[in-house]
Homo-oligomer: A and B are copies of this chain.
Amino acid sequence: MIRRVHTGRRRNEAAREAILQAAADLLAAGSGDVAVSAIAKSAGVGKQTIYRWWPSKRAVLIEAMASRGQQLVSVSETGVFAADLKSFLTATFAAARQNRALLLGVLSEALTDPSTMSQFCAFAASRRQALQSLLDRACQRGEITKPSALIVDQIFGTLWYRLIFHHAPLNSAAASKLSHAIVDQLTPD
């Protein structure tokens, strides 16, 4: 509950960030159900300020998640497919693991609201695209055979499946193992 300066007739960027931060925090601390009034209180903001800028609670959560997703995975490529894939998976798994409650909270909201779901799908698509272009480059270099769309879904599917059911770890060992399996699948022999 920080004192924040008014910015008059222009949108208060600090309030916007406080809201997203509070939303992310509450989801992460995650009892799995976040009340708008709780976000508002924890951001030191009136509820109306939330509804002025977002159409619904879900929209806030989506944006909170997306802005986190931005920060996480920026992998420098070496040009060697096996190494690049491994580091991509390791970074992605780590980020997912650390933001598990946030991701699942948003998934939960998306499942009950079509427009949230469409934003959520866009987020997922952008992550798939990141992986896809990594694969495409390796393919152009001739390192691997042309990968099918299934490959990408196997990878992110494994990620989300473990996120949801939590029966097996998403650590770097898993990333490494999955990476090997994928490389094998894509290497002609």
Minimum C-beta distance from A90 to chain B (A): 15
**How often does this chain occur in the complex, in copies?**
4
Question: B124 and A150: CB pair below 8 A?
Answer: no
Residues of A within 8 A of B (CB): 31-33, 104-105, 107-108, 111-114, 120-121, 124-125, 128, 148-151, 153-154, 156-162, 164-168, 174, 177-178, 181, 184-185
Question: B167 and A161: CB pair below 8 A?
Answer: no
Question: A32 and B111: CB pair below 8 A?
Answer: yes
Question: A161 and B164: CB pair below 8 A?
Answer: no
Question: B121 and A167: CB pair below 8 A?
Answer: yes
- Which 9 interchain pairs have the tightest Cβ spacing? A157-B157, A157-B161, A108-B111, A32-B112, A157-B158, A154-B154, A153-B158, A33-B112, A124-B165
